[in-house]
Amino acid sequence: MAQVRVQILLEQRQHTALKKAARRENKSVSEIIRQITDGYLAQTEPEQEDSVIQTLDRFRALREKQTTYEGDLTKEIRAERSAQQEKNL
């Protein structure tokens, strides 16, 4: 799903609370704000609630499929670059 960059102004207490929540949940402030927005929209637009829930379910499914690369990319790139340099000599 495409995302749009927005700029909002928060009170300092709101920003501090969002940062704490994001750290606690291991998420970004943006992700927390998106979740809050989805919850608000589900409450104010009940006809879209099913659509929001389906979108959140698809998002959760995609997140579960994500994996973390266990290799050392820097080391691998350096080795590949060295091999290419030796080949060019």
The answer to whether residue 61 scores a pLDDT higher than 90 is no
From the list 58, 12, 9, 6, the residue with the least C-alpha distance to 34 is: 6
Q: Are 47 and 65 in contact (CB under 8 A)?
A: no
The burial class, CB within 10 Å (0-12 / 13-18 / 19+), for 69 is exposed
pLDDT 10s digits, 2-49: 888 999 999 999 999 999 999 999 999 999 999 999 888 877 766 666
As given in the structure block, the two tokens for residue 52 are 């929001």
pLDDT 10s digits, 65-88: 777 777 888 888 899 988 888 887
